Amino acid sequence: MSVKDLVVQYINNEKLVHAVDHVSFSCKENESVGIAGESGCGKSTFGLAILRSLQKNAMVSGQIIFNDMPILDMTDSEFSEKIRWKQISMIFQGAMNSLDPVFTIKKQFEEILKKHNFNGDHQKAISEIISSVGLSDSILAKYPHEISGGMKQRVIIAMALILKPKMVIADEPTTALDVLVQAQIMVLLKKLKKDGLSIVIISHDLGILSEIVEKIGIMYAGQIVEFGNLADVYNNPQHPYTIALLDSIPKIDESVQKTPLKGNPPSLIDPPSGCRFYDRCPHAMEKCKKDPPKIETSSGFVMCWLYS
């Protein structure tokens, strides 16, 4: 998949919210890419834009090419028939909000299969996918409130995989889970990756991303400000925001007290011109008030005047 200059704006009370601003990146077959950043930076909107599941007040432009198909140019019916859930699916944030409380787990699986005109054996398909995420068939007769948070998350992952897509977008797949269940979910995602699945993981947790992705994009105020191979970005971060994110991670052997990043992210309703990190950046210069250039790095790019 290749994303080029993706822009997503919401119309809110006659004002434009610039949620995603000219985002570009690529993900190869059998590759995993992480999108990291603080809350409200546009990560989830970015994932929903790929699946074309945004609210009606959203305006989308740019290009998303998946297997040589420009998916933003497709009609809704064509995208639903060819791409959604069959080739690209999504693990939505918050399993408890993604399951319908008045239907059994089995009923909700059957709804997916019927909606996408699955012609095979429903019972066999459901049993196989439930088994693949480490659950037994006994869970199918239960309602969502009768199972634990970790089980709910596995059910959501199974729902995303039941039609055997080539790519899954995982939006905060371990949020609100305890560390033991987080570890179980990460082991499961690694197994799926070994089986040939491409994964785009959206998260604010850099530790979680470090376990599974090959490439990572750092998102700030709707823009990807740095992108590259995981090792390059983690070991030699270029953008001041990336450096601040990595410095915020506590280390067991570190006695120096952490210094929090001062200030707040800019408003996405009226974002400032130039570098959006300007007001919080310790290296801010006068020229940073102009839009930063995209500087090539060894494995990707960084948007910063420090390297021009």
Write out pLDDT tens, residues 37-87: 988 899 999 999 999 999 999 999 999 999 999 999 999 999 999 999 999
pLDDT of residue 250: 78
| 200: confidence class by pLDDT, cuts 50, 70, 90 | very high
Rounded CA separation 175/186 (Å): 12
In a domain, 264, yes or no: yes
In a domain, 134, yes or no: no
Containing 132, the helix (H) or strand (E) segment is helix 122-132
In a domain, 284, yes or no: yes
pLDDT of residue 24: 93
Q: Whose structure tokens read 């995303």?
A: 160
Q: How many residues does the chain have?
A: 308
Asked if pLDDT for residue 7 goes beyond 90, the answer is: yes
What long-range pairs does 51-59 form, CB within 8 A, spacing at least 24? 51/84, 51/88, 51/89, 51/90, 51/169, 52/76, 52/79, 52/84, 53/90, 54/8, 55/10, 57/10, 57/11, 57/12, 58/8, 58/9, 58/10, 58/19, 59/7, 59/8, 59/9, 59/10, 59/11
Starting at the edge strand found earlier in the chain, the sheet holding 2-12 runs: 15-26, 2-12, 58-66, 69-70
Q: Which residue has the higher pLDDT, 24 or 257?
A: 24
Is the Cβ–Cβ distance between 299 and 232 less than 8 Å? Answer: yes
Helix (H, G, I), strand (E, B) or coil at 61: strand
pLDDT of residue 125: 95
Is the Cβ–Cβ distance between 50 and 3 less than 8 Å? Answer: yes
Q: What are phi and psi of 265, to 5 degrees?
A: -60, 150
Over residues 114-157, the pLDDT tens digits come to 999 999 999 999 999 999 888 999 999 999 999 988 889 889 99
pLDDT of residue 12: 85
In a domain, 11, yes or no: no
For the chain, give the mean pLDDT: 91
In a domain, 226, yes or no: yes
Tokens of 24: 């570009």
Is the Cβ–Cβ distance between 21 and 35 less than 8 Å? Answer: no
Q: What is the mean pLDDT of residues 181-201?
A: 88
Share of the chain above pLDDT 90, in %: 71
pLDDT of residue 11: 92
In a domain, 249, yes or no: yes
Q: What is the pTM of this model?
A: 0.91
Q: Which region among 46-55, 106-115, 185-194 has the lowest average model confidence (pLDDT)? A: 185-194
- Number of structural domains found in the chain: 1
In a domain, 44, yes or no: no
Per residue in 29-61, is it b (16+ CB within 10 Å) or e — as a string? eebbbbbbbeeebbbbbbbbbbbbebeeebebe
Over residues 242-255, the pLDDT tens digits come to 999 998 887 777 67
pLDDT of residue 1: 93
Over residues 270-295, the pLDDT tens digits come to 898 999 999 999 999 999 999 999 99
* Boundaries of domain holding 237: 214-308
In a domain, 115, yes or no: no
Q: What is the mean pLDDT of residues 180-186?
A: 83
